[in-house]
Structures are given as C-alpha cells and as structure tokens.
Amino acid sequence: MARIIVITSGKGGVGKTTTSAALAMGLAQRGKRTVVIDFDVGLRNLDLIMGCERRVVYDFINVINQEANLNQALIRDKRCDHLYVLPASQTRDKDALTKEGVGRVLEELAQSYDFIVCDSPAGIEHGATMAMYYADDAIVVTNPEVSSVRDSDRMLGILSSRSRRAENSDEPVREFLLLTRYNAERVEIGEMLSVEDVQEILSLNLLGVIPESKAVLNASNSGIPVILDRESDAGQAYGDVVSRYLGEEVPHRFIHTEKKGFLSRIFRG
C-alpha cells in the first residue's frame, strides 16, 4: 500500500508546489513508484513546474466524476519512468473535490504506487482539507518569517484533529518541517528567524532547509523540478530531504554562513 504524503502550509507562496515536484521526482529516482497530485483546483500550477502542461487532456476532477479513468488522466514523466502526474482542473470549482471521490481515487492509486504526493493549496480552504484528510505523512512548508510560521502552527492543529487518522483514533499523521527560502546571512543580522526559532515555535522534526536560490525560479520557468539541478544549493538540499525522508542519516547543510578564508576576507570574498 502507498504512503500518502501531503505538502501543506498556512500561507501561499512558500514553495509547496516546488517541494511537491522535487520530492516526487526524488522518490521516483530512487526507484519508488510515485504519483504527485495537484489539489489546487482552479489554479493548477503543478503541471507547469513538471513541464507537462501541454499533455493534459483529463484531470483529477474528471476521474472523481468518473468522466475518465486514471489511465487516461495520469501523465508519465518523460525523465523518469517511475513518476506520474495527476493534474488539477482549471475550470471546475474546488467543491468538486468530495471526500468520497478523493478517497476512491487514492485507494485505486495505492494499489499500484509506493508514494502518493498531494500538492495542497494554502490555508484551510476545501482543497487543502481534502488533501490533508487522507494523509499518512505531512510536510509543513514554511518560510523563516513570523506570519508564515504562525499560519503553519494553525495547520498542525487541523492535521491533528481533522484527518482520517484522527477520526479513526489511529496513529497520528507523521509531521515534518521544511524551511524554505532560508538565507543564513539575513538570519545572522536578525532579518529572518533562525532554524532554532522556527523549531521552538512548531516543535517539528526538521526534514530540511532549502536555501534562497535563483535556481528555484529558473527551474520552475523551465518546467524542471529543481532537484534535477545538481549544481545548485537548492537542488542538493532537496536531494538531502528525500534521503532523510527515506530514513537516511544526512547532516543538515545551508544553515550557517560560509566561513571565508584569509585571502577571501582580504579581497572581500
């Protein structure tokens, strides 16, 4: 049976879709059969970041409404045979996501995949609660700023009380913290919260720190998950995230500023 992972946050623009694409690609590259689903009905950005927007014929809502089957709607990634994308609809309302319909689709996918990655909309709107309801694991994505962290704390309350696991008194959803757009230099001068500050507020297992990087925007514009950019700090950081999620012991990087050598200091780095 598949493990269902929801990528969630309290506010928009923190990097959920980037994270969903990177995590799904990283898992698939490890040989895990993986499908990533866009729950953001009406906006639909995942297919752009995955570079498959021109191949969308049927979508998640078509499958829920039984207007198409999964084989018709799933898009296989051209770069990795183990990865599939289930896009959202741009023309339907979010209320088209029903608990029964979503559950039926996830149950069918669980028969064939190792991991199901759910790219959730921000906040507590209907699409977000549907994405969270069936989760086994939740990766809470936040930026190192007070408003983003505070909103993420609210999401943790919903995860612990409104998930299927909570309703059935099963083991709780496993929760992880992913800190994005982190700039160690700005942390040092007090313009951003530190990793320790965020962990003190949220008390979550730190899955990774993604440094602020132009590579993320460049990858998104090119329709390529940033994890494939092995030369970039962000790509390497997402690779570490996948390793940690799979249980490997990997030290955290990109948390502290780089110590400059004697010559670098003379010539101002």
According to the annotation, is 13 in a ligand binding site?
Answer: yes
Residue where the block lists tokens 């979508």: 59
Distance (Å, rounded) from C-alpha 258 to C-alpha 212?
A: 14
According to the annotation, is 198 in a ligand binding site?
Answer: no
According to the annotation, is 259 in a ligand binding site?
Answer: no
According to the annotation, is 260 in a ligand binding site?
Answer: no
DSSP per-residue letters across 171-228: SPPEEEEEEEEE-HHHHHTTSS--HHHHHHHH--EEEEEEE--HHHHHHHHHT--GGG
According to the annotation, is 223 in a ligand binding site?
Answer: no
- Tell me the one-letter amino acid at 234: A
According to the annotation, is 190 in a ligand binding site?
Answer: no
According to the annotation, is 239 in a ligand binding site?
Answer: no
According to the annotation, is 31 in a ligand binding site?
Answer: no
Contact in structure between 132 and 7 (CB atoms under 8 Å): no
Query: CA 67 from chain center: how many Å?
Result: 28
Q: Return binding residues for ATP.
A: 11-18
Binding site per annotation, positions: 11-18
